[in-house]
A and B are shown apart, each in its own frame.
Chain A
């Protein structure tokens, strides 16, 4: 493979990243090559490390470089609250606000028979097990207001209600809206004004 085609391939791979197209990928690659020591080398080394170590936290489904993520290993995060989110990007959005001090459960999707996603795929048995194990008093559902999101919220509330307080984020998460697209203030307000399901 010639040098040019390696670079072409890098551009092609980069252009498949969310938010990048062929044009921006070319610009990014050119920039990386020009800043070889400040950017390209550290980037490739960090990527190799992450590629070797990144995995799902066995407890909550967060992305981590260990078996358990930092949130699950930190004792101060065991506040008796678990926030249930659809995706790791939602977890990150919650963390950005700095307002939630507890732990998470990442579903990795929503209940959908048509997409072959059932309760097992969402790790709900694991979530149930965490309630006694982590002395959980409240489960906060931070799911999107889509049909699938609301169905999932209903299902989880039904499953856990007898054992733990189940609440949901107050209005503010718009229909089809994703946590990741909301500003921190909106998420914080929705968290503060959460209500029983």
Chain B
């Protein structure tokens, strides 16, 4: 069972120093606005590859630029506990040590899986494709720890190609070399996403959740996305003249969108009510969690910021039941303790005041 047994923060956002012990299972965090609830969840989100749930730079996470910040914790996983220590100095990207040895983001991704829902995602279904793609990739990353490397490699090669297109570069060998990298990483991205989606869909359908089932499809503008490495490479080569006119790459996994459809109401997610849209997202996160249990034997750590918002008391109670059934260490925030009444004695309760966090009774 994956969970953080303790976490320590130094000069991280609003916390000058904090040390906290936690257990597995749900954690209800409550306190007034601006007391540091989201900051704490952000710190936990760093226990997975990437920039964390605010997608902030390491420099933004502290006011002590030179000295920097540190976040560390003891992570219990399938085998032995691991000491994870992250720090950033002088605004540099965070460095990572696992059991005191330098480690990569990929190493972290193999050990730890963290998924989150934050208030800005309440608009995920109605805003641009980028947010949905990021959501899809985070779910995919939870099944395929190397997915992040593929995405970074693909985007790097694509930025280079876009630059050539904008410069009006004619050296076809240069395009070919970049398109070969894009095709290789791109085919891997597509395969990872498809495999993840298959797992998500079956984890939805086989469960009797109170949260709605979504029909999920991946779409690509204008033409079907070339799936294999060779097809993508040829499509990119053929697209060069039009891409040059557009000044960017118009074909590839970076244009993919996640379409969600509320099955029971036969309604596209973007036309559903705010509460229904949120329920759809929660449904996907829970399906992801169940699929990970099947895949890795352990549920992910969940971060559900302001989770009570837009959920009526019945749905809230159903969510707590689902989380308990899943067995996740679920860090949930809200302004009032009473929002978590339905959780009862199944959870741990943390009251957040400026700079300090105290365990309180249910």
Q: Which residues of B contact A155 (CB under 8 A)?
A: 173-174, 176-177
Q: Which residues of B contact A148 (CB under 8 A)?
A: 156, 160
For B134-171 the 0/1 string (1 means CB < 8 A from A) is 00000000000000010001001101100110010101
Question: Which of A118, A151, A175 is the one whose CB lies under 8 Å from B178?
Answer: A151
Give me the interface of B with A, judged by CB distance under 8 Å: 149, 153, 156-157, 159-160, 163-164, 167, 169, 171, 173-174, 176-178, 180-181
Interface check A111, CB cutoff 8 A: yes
Does B177 lie within 8 Å of A152, measured CB to CB? yes
Q: List 11 A-B contacts (CB under 8 A).
A: A112-B160, A113-B163, A113-B169, A114-B163, A147-B181, A151-B177, A152-B177, A154-B177, A154-B180, A155-B173, A159-B173
A118 to B180, CA, bound (A): 17
For A112-134 the 0/1 string (1 means CB < 8 A from B) is 11100011000000000000000
Main secondary structure of the interface of A (DSSP, over half): helix
Does B160 lie within 8 Å of A119, measured CB to CB? no
Interface check A150, CB cutoff 8 A: yes
Give me the interface of A with B, judged by CB distance under 8 Å: 111-114, 118-119, 147-148, 150-152, 154-155, 158-159, 175
Q: Which of chain B's residues has its CB closest to A113's CB?
A: B163
Does B157 lie within 8 Å of A111, measured CB to CB? no
Does B163 lie within 8 Å of A147, measured CB to CB? no
| Chain A proximity of B3: nearest CB distance (Å) | 30
Does B167 lie within 8 Å of A111, measured CB to CB? no
A150 to B177, CA, bound (A): 8
Does A151 lie within 8 Å of B173, measured CB to CB? no
A119 to B172, CA, bound (A): 12
A9 to B276, CA, bound (A): 67
Q: Which residues of A contact B178 (CB under 8 A)?
A: 151
Q: Which of chain A's residues has its CB closest to B149's CB?
A: A175
Q: Which residues of B contact A113 (CB under 8 A)?
A: 160, 163-164, 167, 169, 174
Q: Which residues of B contact A158 (CB under 8 A)?
A: 173, 176-177
Q: Which of chain B's residues has its CB closest to A159's CB?
A: B173
Question: Which of B149, B156, B159, B174 is the one whose CB lies under 8 Å from A111?
Answer: B174
Q: Which of A112, A151, A159 has the most CB of B within 10 A?
A: A151
A154 to B157, CA, bound (A): 13
Does B174 lie within 8 Å of A119, measured CB to CB? yes
A150 to B149, CA, bound (A): 15
Q: Which of B149, B157, B160, B167 has the most CB of A within 10 A?
A: B160
Decide: A151 near B163, CB < 8 A? Known: A158-B176, A175-B149. no
A154 to B160, CA, bound (A): 15
What are the 9 A-B residue pairs with the smallest beta carbon separation, nearest first? Answer: A154-B177, A113-B163, A155-B177, A147-B156, A151-B177, A158-B173, A147-B153, A113-B164, A154-B180
Q: Which of chain A's residues has its CB closest to B180's CB?
A: A154
Q: Which residues of B contact A152 (CB under 8 A)?
A: 177
Q: Which of chain B's residues has its CB closest to A153's CB?
A: B177
A148 to B178, CA, bound (A): 9
Does B174 lie within 8 Å of A114, measured CB to CB? no
Q: Which residues of B contact A119 (CB under 8 A)?
A: 171, 174
Q: Which of A148, A155, A159 has the most CB of B within 10 A?
A: A155
| Chain A proximity of B165: nearest CB distance (Å) | 9
Known: A114-B159, A151-B177, A175-B149. 9 other contacts (CB 8 A): A111-B177, A114-B160, A119-B174, A147-B153, A151-B181, A154-B180, A154-B181, A155-B177, A158-B173
Decide: A151 near B160, CB < 8 A? Known: A113-B169, A158-B177, A159-B173. yes
Q: Which residues of B contact A147 (CB under 8 A)?
A: 153, 156-157, 160, 181
Does A150 lie within 8 Å of B181, measured CB to CB? yes
| Chain B proximity of A63: nearest CB distance (Å) | 28
A150 to B164, CA, bound (A): 17
| Chain A proximity of B102: nearest CB distance (Å) | 12
| Chain A proximity of B164: nearest CB distance (Å) | 5
